[in-house]
Structure 1
Amino acid sequence: MSTQQPENTAPADRKVILVTGASSGIGAAIAARLVTEGHLVVAGARRTDRLRELATSTTEEAARSGGALEPVRLDVTDRADVAAFVQGARDRHGRVDVLINNAGVMPLSRLDSLLVDEWDRMIDVNVRGLLHGIAAALPVFTAQGSGHLVTVASIGAHEVVPTAAVYCGTKYAAWAITEGLRQEVDPSIRVTTISPGVVDSELAHTITEAGAAEAMRSYRAHAMGPDAIAAAVSYALAQPADIDVNEIVVRPARQR
């Protein structure tokens, strides 16, 4: 029996792809799928132990596909940290083809609960984190004459429900910022918004208000897996350079 190791079979269209919030949930699913498709994924998050576990879990698939996963500590609320995340990837690999702005938090609560610190956290991660990513990646994409920015927004960018006013506000903002970017940039730079419905992830674990937590348990009764969102991202990235997938809304069939 041959003991020869699998050859590196990286595809000719292998991309250098940066993913924020990659330590769990949607971000981890996106990173893992893109590795299996042969891409070099730079996975950023604060929980580096989770990133290392993700890198280990994708080792076998990476060997088959020619992909790779590179864990990097990242705090998207720190502008300098995001700039270093993008520039470091460019310095190491010569280019950055895609930035997937996925990092997000969702501590839902009624407005009259006045959980202002939690509101600030959502604004810092969901809005400022996105802007930091754009500020870091756009000059790189412009200099290269190519690039693809993907924002993971939410169905909350299209509707508002009780306890979600601030969260939906941040996701409306993320949608608007990304759509504005799409209209402003040169056609050589593609811009996509992915708006997930209810997904089985850790986002709901950050809810501290009892009423909001209970409502979320009912809301998530028919959640979909994060792989559905990873598939949507994969589809958008795989289109020819002259095709720009502007937005994909993905939700469970039971979420009407």
Structure 2
Amino acid sequence: MSKGIEGKVVVITGASSGLGESTARHLARLGAAVVLGARREERLNAIVEEIKAEGGKATAHAVDVTRREDLAALVQHAVNTFGRVDVMINNAGLMAISPIAELRVDEWDRMIDINIKGVMYGIAAALPLFEQQGAGHFINISSVAGIKVFSPGGSVYSGTKYAVRAISDGLRHEVGSSIRTTTIEPGAVDSELKHGSGHQASAQAVAEFYKQAIPAESVARAIAFAIEQPADVDINEIVLRPTSQDF
């Protein structure tokens, strides 16, 4: 258990695998009540049952982060189940790497919808509640690719992750007197994110790059660190990557 985490209600998108799943399990072990959102309802329910079997508190609600009403329903489900929301983790993401000249416009649209709009819809769902409570914490998952353009082929993906950093920093300026905002920027982490590229040559390059990936649990620990700080301490940004990663 962690005194700074125990009893807090944490909503997590993209929670059916990877960073979201690891974060849900880790925070539940530290005493948080976790609310899992993702499209794969059967997988979510299995994770919830495993968390409960370990003595944790968890619930799930199917959500597509490209639908604003789904995010609103997820937050409302958290309130209906646990009475409040303390932390909103906007984690769902897509990494479809390909050269711009390939003109994979459908993939660009999908990344913008998930990586940018999905974060904005999560903010829109939780912010009124946080303002009503007079407290809350947004944790938005960007990427090392939001600091430096992932090349070759990562221009659009990096653009979406730069956007997450900009939105997060602006949000902190606007609501930071009572609401905390943290941006997490991981490097290569073992998750399903690496499988998002439909362009064959890019997919092969990503697979090679991700051979150095660190476990998703590493990011979960960074998220827990940000949450467990006293209310007057706002961890604004955490960058973490494999020791061997030079990008």
Q: TM-score, normalised by structure 1?
A: 0.92
Runs (5+) with no aligned partner, structure 1: 1-8
Looking at structure 2, the residues matched to 57 and 40 of structure 1 have their Cα atoms a distance apart, in angstroms, of 14
Which protein is bigger by CA-based radius of gyration? 1
Quick one: distance in 2 between partners of 1:51 and 1:135? Answer: 23
Deviations 1:159-214 (CA, angstroms, capped at 9, x unpaired): 11111000000000011000100111042111000000001111121211011011
Match of 1:45 among 13, 38, 50: 38
Aligned to 1:122: 111
2-structure distance, mates of 1:215, 1:82: 34
Rounded to whole Å, the distance in 1 between the matches of 2:106 and 2:196 is 13
State which of 15, 21, 24 in structure 1 corresponds to 2:14: 21
**2:245 is equivalent to residue 255 of structure 1:** yes
Structure 2: distance between partners of 1:118 and 1:77? 14
Rounded to whole Å, the distance in 1 between the matches of 2:82 and 2:48 is 18
Change (3 A) 1:10 1:165: closer
**Does the alignment pair 1:109 with 2:109?**
no
Aligned to 2:195: 205
1:99 maps to which of 79, 88, 111: 88
Aligned to 1:32: 25
| Count of matched residue pairs | 244
Q: 2:144, 2:239 within 8 Å by CA — same for their partners in 1? A: yes
From 121, 126, 135, the counterpart of 1:132:
121
Question: Identity over aligned residues, as a percent?
Answer: 48
Hey, what's the Cα distance between the residues in 1 that align with 2:158 and 2:52?
Answer: 37
Residue identity opposite 2:59 in structure 1: E
Q: Which runs of 4+ in 1 moved over 6 A?
A: 9-12
Q: Say whether the 8 Å CA contact 2:6–2:30 is kept in structure 1.
A: no
Deviation, 1:10, is 9.9
Instruction: Return the offset for 1:60.
Output: 3.4
Q: For 1:128 and 1:60, how far apart are their aligned partners in 2?
A: 34
Asked whether the 8 Å contact 2:185–2:237 carries over to 1, the reply is yes
Residue in structure 2 matching 1:174, options 164, 172, 183: 164
Offset of residue 233 of structure 1: 0.2
Change (3 A) 1:54 1:13: closer
For structure 2, list consecutive stretches of 5 or more residues without a partner in the other structure.
none
Find the residue that maps to 2:46 and give its secondary structure. Answer: helix
